[in-house]
Amino acid sequence: MSLGGEKSFKMRMRDMENAFKYRRIPYPKRSVELIAILAISCTFFLFMHTNKLNSRLKEMEIKLQPSEFSALGLTGNQISPRESSRRDNINTLHGTYQYLKSTGQLPYLTPESVNQTSKAQIEIVLFNRVPKVGSQTLMALLNLLSKRHEFEARRDMPSPMETIMLTKTFENNLADEIMEKGEGTTYTKHVAFIDFGKLDLPWPIYINLVRHPVERLISWFYYVRAPWYIAERVRNFPGQYKVPTIKWLKKSFETCVLQHHEECTFTQGEEHSLGDHRRQMLFFCGQNRELCMPFNSYQAMQRAKRNVENYYSVVGTWEETNITLTVLEHYIPRFFSGATETYYQAKNRLHHVNRNSIKPSVSQEVREILHKNLTNEIEFYNFCKQRLYKQYIAIKSLRQEI
């Protein structure tokens, strides 16, 4: 074969190779449409299942949140700088609603998800009341409601010294006394949370009230100095109550804090001074002295939160009167149906009980000192308010804007 013929052959082979390499095979029009439809269908299928999976994961995340840390699933360490500016907002009804909405929790918030009354094993309401939160008002309301709903509203016998932390024997005796009252009763006493499960007794319907810790301390300070209070103690407990000095009675809260008097010095972790009721969390933490007694303790706060979340049907506050009454009516209707109507019919009479007539103003300086010493007490108080708001939002029809 000649050289020219060989080149010609190679060129022909290259042309054939290029033609094969860049060939275009025509497809019928119907096949193209079928492939397009198939691609769209696969994309839609994946989108639907991904969206469904995302919703289920969000629901699981919300259900598995460590609720003992906060009613809204937050801890101080988990708050981003952007969220921290909204912190105070979260502690309002509207702020709680917006937070639940923005975090995707609102669709999964139902009355059943925040209702602990159904877990009670006996129809007895136990109000282990905190001092200076308006407990006398709720007791008076219970007395009125008992006539309306035919139940027994009972309380412990008054004593010169309240026993908040109980010995094992006293705890067992008190628990048995509460159970002996029988179903269809309410029982009220200043006492720290009792774990009925550990005593092999049925769980009652726990309720309580809270108040801002700073306001509680101020209220307590002037409450024990009120003339009517002293006269009442002398009359009810002759020879057992020591009448205070004039100097002590005239002392102002402002002076007490700024001059570091013992009763107004709030030492972190302190395990004494039970008599001034400075520990609101203690009433929810329980009968574990080592864990619950240290003042403003983080561990006591966590236990108190957990107990509220798991065992209390309602923890209300008179700072949110209508919300508290509405939640009590909805979650404990056997005892509190019509509570709002009854309350407002007798409002003046109810609030006249145990009210401080003299309570001088307290400076911002002193309030800031108290805030710094009550950090965990205040966080617990806000936790209880957030939980109350969640219960209220859960029962609002159609989840309307609040």
CA angle 158, 150, 395 (to 5 degrees): 95
The answer to whether the beta carbons of residues 123 and 108 sit under 8 Å apart is: no
**Residue 399 Rama label (left phi>0; alpha psi -120 to 50; beta):** left
Return phi, psi of residue 200, to 5°.
Answer: 60, 40
The answer to whether the beta carbons of residues 390 and 100 sit under 8 Å apart is: yes
Tell me if residue 347 falls in helix, strand or coil: helix
DSSP state, 107?
G
- Among the listed residues 396, 401, 377, 384, the one whose alpha carbon sits nearest the alpha carbon of residue 320: 384
The answer to whether the beta carbons of residues 383 and 314 sit under 8 Å apart is: no
- Among the listed residues 233, 229, 256, the one whose alpha carbon sits nearest the alpha carbon of residue 355: 229
The answer to whether the beta carbons of residues 243 and 160 sit under 8 Å apart is: no
Q: Are strands 124-127 and 152-155 parallel, antiparallel or unpaired?
A: unpaired
352 is catalytic: no
CA–CA distance, 108 with 58 (Å, rounded to integer): 10
Structure tokens at 248: 């002590």
The answer to whether the beta carbons of residues 155 and 189 sit under 8 Å apart is: yes
Q: Which residue has the tokens 């319907």?
A: 205
Annotated active-site residue in 190, 212, 277, 330: 190
Q: Which residue has the tokens 């050289």?
A: 3
DSSP state, 40?
H
Q: Which residue has the tokens 């994946």?
A: 46
- Sheet with 185-188, edge to edge strand ranges: 152-155, 185-188, 124-127, 205-209, 312-316
Which H or E run contains 119? none
Active site (catalytic) residues: 190
